[in-house]
Amino acid sequence: MASRRRMLLKVIILGDSGVGKTSLMNQYVNRKFSNQYKATIGADFLTKEVQFEDRIFTLQIWDTAGQERFQSLGVAFYRGADCCVLVYDVNVMKSFDHLNNWREEFLIQASPSDPENFPFVVLGNKVDVDGGNSRVVSEKKAKAWCASKGNIPYFETSAKEGFNVEAAFQCIAKNALKNEPEDEIYLPDTIDVGGGQQQRSSGCEC
Amino acid sequence: MSLDSSSSSSSGDEYIEENPNSNPKMVDERFEVLTLTEPVELESNHMGDGSDIVNGSLNRERNGGDEDDDRLQVENQEIFGEEGPSSPSSSGYAGERGSSSATSASRVDEASEIDDNEIREVRNDGSLEGISDSQASSWVPGKRHVDEDDASISWRKRKKHFFILSNSGKPIYSRYGDEHKLAGFSATLQAIISFVENGGDRVKLVKAGKHQVVFLVKGPIYLVCISCTEEPFESLKGQLELIYGQMILILTKSINRCFEKNPKFDMTPLLGGTDVVFSSLIHSFSWNPATFLHAYTCLPLAYATRQAAGAILQDVADSGVLFAILMCKHKVISLVGAQKASLHPDDMLLLSNFVMSSESFRTSESFSPICLPRYNPMAFLYAYVHFLDVDTYLMLLTTSSDAFYHLKDCRIRIEMVLLKSNVLSEVQRSMIDGGMRVEDLPIDPLPRFGSSPHLGHQRPPTDSPERPREPFIGIGGPAGLWHFIYRSIYLDQYVSSEFSPPLNSPRQQKRLYRAYQRLFASMHDKGIGPHKTQFRRDENYVLLCWVTQDFELYAAFDPLADKALAIKTCNRVCQWVKDVENEIFLQGASPFSW
């Protein structure tokens, strides 16, 4: 048996199409970037082992499609997530405005036990574009929104240059871990045959 | 498996006189007019392209045989790829393997031995060649190839994968490879299942080339098998059900509540250290007929010996033990249940697999919570387990978590009685002697009376099982009988003959096992069955199956065997089983009214 229990964290990446969700993931997992845009169909899955404090755990990253036609997949995909990453493009105002929808949609569909404290992380991506001259969402504005939603950690990233990507995912792992509930003792019932009546599952006596 | 418990006679009784099928001629006629039907591969409602469905009623048995030829041949290439003397890469099936990765000839070698390496590794150890039951004992426990993941070519080439995952896509168990490294693959499986579920539907089977992907959803637990072994869908599904049952045996179905409370729930820690239990169960899918017959088998013993064992077990059962089970490997010596309590054969299979595969049970007496999924899947029982010798173990099941010392006392009493009445030495002897052998099938179907020697073994002791190996005709039993399995429906028990030449190698035995499995599935197919009789001939065997209210007989003959003679021989086998039923079956156990 393993000396220390390994953990697996399910991380969902959400955001409008084209904000760079797949690129962020590729930069993080494979340290690769491509300028070519390829729309994600449904969802992509990647895994990465991460060390955090002296523990090793596995991030199971669900890179979802941003297009609206895939939204129906929500419930199934979001179930049992440990952390949700919201991504927008600092050069596209609409993608920032939509963060609220993405967050609410996630909370409705995943229905986590404690929605107030569910760990989100917000990433403002593509800060490299045009040397920052085409930027329309200021860091201040983004941080204000994050603060209003229960102090969501915020990172400005560039998937292209790899800027801040590692740090962002470290934070994602940390937050997901923090949310881990205390281990409960697993104690199923014992069969009670008192009174000479045995219990038996239904539907087996055929 | 529902059965007619109202049938008054035990297996095979009185069929000589009363059962119209008993007359060999009449059985033969039945075969002439019978519509033989090829097993239909089941499809899910929506998935699967259906292009490779073999479907249709075959009105001529010979056609049936032909059809089967093709399919078995393919299977042979796959499973027994390196058997032939010719170079494995010459068969050109590299391209058929359907892997997306480039396949070089040298890879084919590797691929073809993958599924057999259990057997192979042990044969290097040398000792077990040609021993019947060898598969049961020669398998090396534990999980292998932990370093693999879905990117490994070797992983992709494995013939049969099993996965357990949660409905949030978190991996719980994988037969091959490291579960954490397979997290992405696991997520993909969940996405497929959930996608179909979202449409209000269920995916059961996806076919991709030669691969079948079989899905089983059990509440928050998803089970998936990916196989290119050409086993019938129903068989693979049954295997997934057993794997789920094994999980329930370890944890109970209360696990569902953990997922209700917390969808993120990771149950792998709760299953810590049970890899060997699952891998041993999966291994048994390729040698243990109990996994598809849903029946158990007994160690052959003189009636009085089994009675003696049963009496002392009954004694402790009366003192608050729910079930008392004495087993030798996977064979039952005796078992007793408290009033009204009955044990399902699947539960016995899962329980004995759990006990035999966990090394710690062998080292000391143990007390462990276990759940019998067919008895009550929601709650734990407690099992006192003690090995009386290397292969023989006693299991006392109770509902009381503080009964350890009481059960220990029971065990000491039982052990003393078993020693005094020589049951344990008889068990040892039976292990050495083995069970029924086709060579010993009485030519003259006269019933024998009195205390015949063990199973009527008539061969002189000098006639060792190691006969000269001649691969073909002329060996085995009368009329080219090679092997049989007889399942008594009323008793929920089966008896399987020992493997005799020419079924020497584990590979041949596994092939026959798979053939029986296929035969069983086709006889019990809900869409086109159930059938009463089936006779099929291919290049490997003549297979004959006969199902009545009381029993099912599966027999394998030399491929050149004469049909009329084969049918006559099957009648003799049934008579033989009837003659020795007191030795090979546990009689008068609590009724199995499932």
Of B488 and A45, which is predicted with more confidence?
B488
| pLDDT winner (highest mean) among A27-31, B337-341, B490-494 | B490-494
Alpha carbon of A140: minimum distance to chain B alpha carbons (Å): 34
Interchain pair B378, A79: CB under 8 A? no
Interchain pair A190, B171: CB under 8 A? no
ipTM passes above 0.90: no
pLDDT for the residue numbered B520: 94
Average pLDDT over residues B237-249: 97
Sequence letter at residue B588:
G
Per DSSP, what are the bridge partners of residue B326? B334, B394
Interchain pair A60, B381: CB under 8 A? no
pLDDT for the residue numbered A74: 67
DSSP secondary structure letter of residue B240? H
Whether residue A88 contacts residue A124, with contact meaning beta carbons closer than 8 Å, is answered with yes
pLDDT for the residue numbered A202: 38
Weakest mean pLDDT among A61-70, A196-205, B161-170: A196-205
Sign of the CA dihedral with B98 first, then B103, B108, and B111 last? negative
Q: Which residues of A123-153 are buried (b: 16+ CB within 10 A; e: fewer)?
A: bbbbbeeeeeeebebeeeebbebbeeeeebe
Query: B20 by DSSP, 3-state: which?
Result: helix
Whether residue B427 contacts residue B390, with contact meaning beta carbons closer than 8 Å, is answered with no
Of B78 and A93, which is predicted with more confidence?
A93
Interchain pair A80, B263: CB under 8 A? yes
Residue spans in chain B of domains classed CATH 3.30.450.70: 153-288
Interchain pair B188, A2: CB under 8 A? no
Q: Which residues of A touch B277 (CB under 8 A)?
A: none
Alpha carbon of B360: minimum distance to chain A alpha carbons (Å): 13
Residue spans in chain B of domains classed CATH 3.30.450.30: 301-433
* Per-residue confidence band for A114, with pLDDT thresholds at 50, 70 and 90: confident
Domains in chain A, CATH or no CATH each: 7-196 (3.40.50.300)
pLDDT for the residue numbered B115: 43
Q: Which residues of A touch B172 (CB under 8 A)?
A: none
pTM check: above 0.80: no
Whether residue A25 contacts residue A85, with contact meaning beta carbons closer than 8 Å, is answered with no
Residue A65: CB atoms within 10 Å: 20
For B20-41+435-584, the fitting CATH number among 3.40.50, 1.10.10, 1.10.3470, 3.30.450 is 3.30.450
Six token digits for residue B538: 């291919």
Task: Report the chain A residue with the minimal C-alpha distance to residue B270.
Answer: A186
pLDDT for the residue numbered A181: 61
Six token digits for residue A49: 């082992």
What gap in Å lies between CA B156 and CA B159, rounded to an integer?
A: 8
pLDDT for the residue numbered A72: 63
A1, A58, A188: residue with CB nearest B273? A1
Residue B51: CB atoms within 10 Å: 6
Of B530 and B418, which is predicted with more confidence?
B418
Q: B301-433: what fold?
A: Beta-Lactamase (3.30.450)
Q: Which residues of B322-337 are buried (b: 16+ CB within 10 A; e: fewer)?
A: bbbbbbbebbbbbbbb
What gap in Å lies between CA B386 and CA B519, rounded to an integer?
A: 37
What gap in Å lies between CA A201 and CA B344, rounded to an integer?
A: 12
A199 touches chain B (CB under 8 A): yes
Six token digits for residue B360: 């710690």
Pair type for strands A7-14 and B323-328 = unpaired
Q: Which residues of B touch A71 (CB under 8 A)?
A: none
Q: Does domain B153-288 have CATH number 3.30.450.70?
A: yes
Weakest mean pLDDT among A192-201, B73-82, B162-171, B231-240: B73-82
B168, B181, B377: residue with CB nearest A47? B181
* Per-residue confidence band for B180, with pLDDT thresholds at 50, 70 and 90: confident
